[in-house]
Amino acid sequence: MIDFRPFYQQIATSPLSDWLETLPLQIKEWEKQTHGDYAKWSKIIDFLPDLTADTVDLKNAVKCDRTYPLSEGEKQRIIHHLKQLMPWRKGPYHLFGIHVDCEWRSDFKWERVLPHLAPLKDRTILDVGCGSGYHMWRMLGEGAKMVVGIDPTELFLCQFEAVRKLLNNDRRVNLIPLGIEQMQPLAAFDTVFSMGVLYHRKSPLDHLTQLKNQLKKSGELVLETLVVDGDANTVLVPSDRYAKMKNVYFIPSVAALINWLEKVGFTHVRCVDVAPTTVEEQRKTDWLENESLIDFLDPNDPSKTIEGYPAPKRAVILANK
């Protein structure tokens, strides 16, 4: 089972120490009602070998290796274990010569986001809805002091812990298996990321307020989400599925999103990037069995989803508290 006590020790003497009022108890409760497969997934982390990486590159990729390469047999054993944690959605990871080729090229998103950010060096960062943690490693690669992710999906926690083990068990990055709405307001983070989460929330303004509650005064919010074309009054609320996803609630225009952020009290709100999602960025690989973007679009008109809505387009918005 995954042990969160080293994280508690780590934050005890940090600006996140107030979190100890609620977190250990919440994790105890969480441990009582984990997913049926959690025990099996968390064992896979134990099956992975304790390797030491001689080189780790988090600045240009999430990559590690050692001078003396793994044998083909050792590689195949690690691949076998990691594949028990499929589907691998966010990546890619390059671990000791193994290419974990995930559904999403999360590095594409990082390249769209990074050039616009206040430098991450020495910052304490929260990544809300961090998935398997790909972007958290890249944040560390930019010199962040500490990165905490929260994400309630237990499979992603196990993927994260598997990658962490292979990355010399680096403890400067941690994933807590909670939803943002369960987190006590800490007002302690220099930067808060929410990427790919807003449209999954039933109450988007509450989500924005929850993000604000985690930021220090004048800290930076990085919000990345699906958008549609239109004016400040345009918001798509899909009647059922959007691109085959069940849990999509609100897809605003950029102008509407800026309005929402200002309404909840953010300042200096600016959109720094808008880009359509391409079939190069989200695609089927050997690391997932499921369908991918190509199956979610209208085969006769890729500018539309299979349900007839505008095809996915995503914006990056920055704002300050």
Give contact residues for ligand SAM (rule: CB under 6 A).
90, 106, 109, 128-131, 150-153, 156, 179-181, 195-197, 200
Pairing type for strands 235-236 and 215-226 reads: unpaired
- Contact criterion met (CB below 8 Å) for 185 and 211: no
CA distance 289 to 309: 25
Q: Is 67 exposed, middle or buried (0-12, 13-18, 19+ CB in 10 A)?
A: exposed
Residue whose CB is less far from ligand SAM, 131 or 219? 131
Q: What is the DSSP string of 220-257?
A: EEEEEEE--SS-TT-EE--SS-BTTBS----EE-HHHH
Q: How far is the CB of 239 from ligand SAM (least distance, A)?
A: 21
CA distance 261 to 244: 28
CB of 54 to ligand SAM, least distance (A): 29
Nearer to ligand SAM, 78 or 156 (CB): 156
Name the minimum Å distance from CB 159 to ligand SAM. 10
Least gap, CB of 106 to ligand SAM (angstroms)? 5
Write the CB contacts of 205 (distance below 8 Å, at least 6 apart in sequence).
Answer: 260, 263, 264
Smallest gap from residue 226 Cβ to ligand SAM (A): 9
Smallest distance from the beta carbon of 153 to ligand SAM, in angstroms?
A: 4
| Burial readout 247-267 (b: 16 or more C-beta within 10 A, e: otherwise) | ebbbbbbbebbbebbeebebe
Nearest-5° angle of CA 272, CA 278, CA 283? 130
Decide whether 65 or 154 has the Cβ nearer to ligand SAM: 154
Closest CB 71 distance from ligand SAM, rounded Å? 33
| Residue with Cβ nearer ligand SAM (146 or 180) | 180
Shorter beta-carbon distance to ligand SAM: residue 193 or 266:
193
Close Cβ partners of 141 (under 8 Å, ≥ 6 residues apart): 57, 58, 59, 60, 62
Q: Give the whole-angstrom CA distance, residue 288 versus residue 286.
A: 6
- For ligand SAM, give the closer residue by CB, 180 or 188: 180
Cβ proximity to ligand SAM: between 153 and 285 the closer is 153
Closest approach, Cβ 284 to ligand SAM, in A, equals 17
Identify which of residues 130 and 139 has a Cβ nearer to ligand SAM in the complex: 130
Residue 279 CA to residue 24 CA, distance in Å, equals 41
DSSP state of 150: E
